[in-house]
Amino acid sequence: MNSPLPTAEQVIQALTGVKDPEIGRPITELGMVKNVDVAPDGTVRVDVFLTVAGCPLRDTITRDVTAAVSKLPGVSRVRVEMDVMSDEQRRALQGQLRGGRAEPEIPFAQPSSLTRVYAVASGKGGVGKSSVTVNIAAALAAGGQKVGVVDADIYGHSVPRMLGVTGRPTPVENMIMPPSAHDVKVISIGMFTKGNTPVVWRGPMLHRAMQQFLADVYWGDLDTLLLDLPPGTGDVAISLAQLLPNAELLVVTTPQLAAAEVAERAGAIVTQTRQRIAGVVENMSYLVCPHCGEQTDVFGSGGGEAVAAALTRITGAPVPLLGQVPIDTRLREGGDSGHPLVLGDPDSPAALQLRKISDALAGRGRGLAGRHLPLSPR
């Protein structure tokens, strides 16, 4: 006997399990299901509204809709037709995603936000700050967290390449849907410039870019947001302290004394911005000979411990040394290929240290501990 045909209501119920790939919420909840029609021969036609014409993920939506509806008894064939939202529909979606707020605001700066925000900082360039950022992000996402990365190094942006992000941001009215790779959402100024064009901006433009990355991008409900800062204590670090006062610093250094001294200054900015330091990461700690296994301290030793001790003394709060990442050519190769080492070779010595750092950050969980709450005695 043939199964009875599904009703339109049953088809819509099945579509509640289909999520928009960029927004991460059911297409039924977002008003993306335009129409459902069930023909006598079991053919089900589903008309879907795309947020913008030429949506890069239309094939993904088509596949997911087809898979969900095909599971219903009585369905012989699924046809998915695409339409595009009107300006009014996009404005309504924008308002829905912002919780009814007309003006954009930075969700991570709100007292109710449970997202852990880590600004990965360094005193000088070349210490591997971006490599540490992308590998921590990938490790956190692989562990089940919802993770986002802001490539805040406007002049030296490199995160998209290192994470293997090939997609482009999708605009929805005045909101931006960030692309992702390895389950990590990413935004970078490199996604908005042509080719390898340099960015030549002064402070106010940098501040505005940071504000847009945090307020205009739809991040969803993240467990952790990482910001890859430029080296030093310049305009971006100052803007971040203003826009995200609850962000905690993750200071990256090498064992070299000269690098450690500069990293100490980068971390000491918290005495003026009233932020907290989550910990110190020592990168390029040592080199293991691939032939004999002998460990060589190429850049000296003790820099990470010195920075952690100095920042503990300066801030009056314990600043841990979270990990010491050895030199590994595979770490560089993973960054060039867009496949982080923690995913490509998770048991390598460098990956084990990076995973140890990510585990320490993940273990802190989501919560309001250490945050400034708008409370006053009565």
Give the per-residue pLDDT at 376. Answer: 45
DSSP-derived secondary structure for 204-221: HHHHHHHHHHHHTB---S
What value does the mean pLDDT take over residues 256-274? 85
Give the per-residue pLDDT at 133. Answer: 96
320 has pLDDT over 90: yes
How far apart are alpha carbons 225 and 109 in whole angstroms? 12
368 has pLDDT over 80: no
Q: What are phi and psi of 353, to 5 degrees?
A: -70, -40
95 has pLDDT over 80: no
Average pLDDT in the chain: 86
Give the per-residue pLDDT at 54. Answer: 67
Point out the least confidently predicted range of 265-274, 297-306, 343-352, 358-367. Answer: 358-367
Q: How confident is the model at residue 318 (pLDDT cuts 50, 70, 90)?
A: very high
Give the per-residue pLDDT at 89. Answer: 81
Domains of the chain are 9-97 (3.30.300.130), 108-362 (3.40.50.300)
Point out the least confidently predicted range of 25-39, 47-61, 325-339. Answer: 47-61
What value does the mean pLDDT take over residues 147-175? 87
66 has pLDDT over 90: yes
Bridging pattern class, strands 276-288 and 248-253: parallel
Q: What are the respective helix, strand and coil percentages of the chain, to the nearest 5?
A: 35, 20, 45
Give the per-residue pLDDT at 253. Answer: 93
Summarize pLDDT for 143-153 with one digit per residue, the tens. Answer: 999 999 999 98
How far apart are alpha carbons 104 and 107 in whole angstroms? 9
What value does the mean pLDDT take over residues 100-108? 70
- What's the half-sphere exposure (Cβ side, CA atoms, 13 Å) at 138? 28
220 has pLDDT over 80: yes
pLDDT cut 90: percent of the chain above it: 49
Q: How confident is the model at residue 203 (pLDDT cuts 50, 70, 90)?
A: low
Q: Calculate helix-pair angle for 235-243, 203-215, nearest 10 degrees.
A: 40
- More confident call, 134 vs 206: 134
Give the per-residue pLDDT at 378. Answer: 46
